[in-house]
Chain A
Amino acid sequence: MKNNLDNLDIQILDLLEEDGRASAKSIALKLGITEVTASKRISKIIKGDHCKVVAIADFEKCGFEFLLPMGIRVHGKQLEQVAEKISSLDAVYSVSAVSGIQDLEILCATKTLDETVELLDVTLPAIKGIKSITPAISSKVYKFQTDWAPLGND
Chain B
Amino acid sequence: MIDHIDSKIIALLGKDARMPNNKIAKAINVSEGTVRNRIAKLLKKNIINISLIRNVNQMDNPGIAFVGLDVEASLKDKIAMQLSKMPEVRFVSSLMGRHDLMAFVLADNATELSHILYQKIASLEGVQFTESSIGLKYFKYDYKWGRLLSEAK
Give the interface of A toward B (CB within 8 A).
1, 13, 16-17, 19-21, 42, 46, 49-63, 67, 69-71, 83-84, 86-87, 92-102, 105, 109, 134-152
Contacts and interface: CB of A to CB of B under 8 A. Distances in A.
Nearest to B106: A148
Given A99-B133, A141-B149, A87 B48 contact: no
Contacts of B58: 1, 49-50
A87 B142 CA distance: 10
Contacts, number: 256
A43 B54 CA distance: 15
A122 B149 CA distance: 32
B63 to A, nearest CB: 12
A105 B57 CA distance: 18
Given A58-B46, A143-B83, A97 B139 contact: yes
Given A83-B139, A149-B55, A57 B48 contact: yes
Nearest to A103: B133
Contacts of B51: 20, 53-56, 146-147
